[in-house]
Chains A and B, each alone.
Chain A
């Protein structure tokens, strides 16, 4: 996927993040299905509010996991967004 770093992804209105108290895990819920998210996935989803650009999302994440490799994080963010976009979960 070609990275447009100014893209400001926004979660589709039908998707909602919910913490699953039984599996102790964040879930992305949408009609008829759900995706179990790891911690990074959930952190990315929280920043998909249409206000943060890809660069800003990666900045925030690298602050959160201090001194994380920025290129690796960028790749992780782009891969994750491609996955949820293919499922129509980004607007």
Chain B
């Protein structure tokens, strides 16, 4: 048994409630089943335990975390434990008063999602009229003096807007513009055909982003998160399973990543039943793919296994039917053919499935 790695990052999904209905949402498709969110006291305990375990970065996420009425108290508590605290928000519920209270509570950084540069495409994606409000909030965030990351999930419907997104980020005085190509899990997997960009659009966007990254280095940081179907590079999922990252869902289940619930047979223990330290160290789900004993060929004897860890476990399960296989994104995977056909499977006229309770009920019945 090797020594347990030390976690650096905790994503706290404070709630699955959200006023938006984004078609790429990473919340589980069956989120409507989720009951009884952790209480203020429970989250406070988790943050203290996380800091003790060595966590440095805390991301307050959701759903829409601003829906939590105790958010100011949670930020205060996170800062009292000296965690670098980032709020991941859709922004539509923010106003100047709330932002000032978050600042006074010690919030370090805000990551605001927008769905595109143009109102029409953005609102088609969010499923709610919200674009102008988000731009107003971005300005407020800067006015109050918060550092700002604009996060845009990129897909077939907005990929041609990359140049306008860069201009917008510069105009808004953002510190960072995250061009995060869609990762095909949860709602994005349901909408895959509608969201998969064409090869030409993707290559062009990548080229534009690469030039902008060089041009604005030191002024605007532009992380470009690849679409792994099109880049062909397996993702080093979460920097390795149970290695530095964990996610806690609204009811307290501790997971190596927010998508891991798709893998059958993994039981995610709750911080309601055990300490975070014990779950991180001992829970079978957290240990399921730690290290490389679980690896099969071709990963087992591949020299890249310490770099990409064989890719994403969830994707291996979704596409190859076995979470211990190589991620089929990899050309060496015997299942790579399925990725080759999916990457060409881009359908402009596929109907969009919106992330809301009604679709959640319909999809989780099947």
Contact = CB atoms under 8 A, between A and B. Distances in A.
* Majority secondary structure, A binding face: mixed
Nearest to A19: B82
A70 B86 CA distance: 39
Interface in B94-151: 108-109, 111, 145-147, 149
Interface in B172-192: 175-176
B111 A31 contact: yes
A88 B146 CA distance: 15
B75 to A, nearest CB: 14
Among A14, A20, A31, A32, which residue has the most Cβ atoms of chain B within 10 A? A31
B334 interface: no
* Majority secondary structure, B binding face: loop
B49 to A, nearest CB: 14
A31 B178 CA distance: 11
A87 B221 contact: yes
Contacts of A13: 145-147
B238 to A, nearest CB: 13
Interface residues on B, range: 20 to 34
A43 interface: no
Contacts, number: 49
Given A29-B56, A32-B223, A22 B149 contact: no
B218 A85 contact: yes
A48 B110 CA distance: 23
A12 B6 CA distance: 27
A34 interface: yes
A12 B57 CA distance: 17
Contact of B86 (A27, A31, A34, A86): A31
Contacts of B82: 18
Which 6 A-B pairs have CB atoms at the shortest separation, nearest pair first?
A: A14-B147, A29-B84, A22-B54, A88-B221, A13-B147, A31-B109
Interface of A: 12-14, 16, 18, 20, 22, 27, 29-32, 34, 85-88, 90
24 contacts: A14-B108, A14-B109, A14-B147, A16-B108, A20-B56, A22-B54, A27-B56, A29-B56, A29-B57, A30-B84, A31-B86, A31-B109, A31-B111, A31-B147, A34-B8, A34-B56, A34-B57, A85-B218, A86-B217, A87-B221, A88-B218, A88-B219, A88-B220, A90-B218
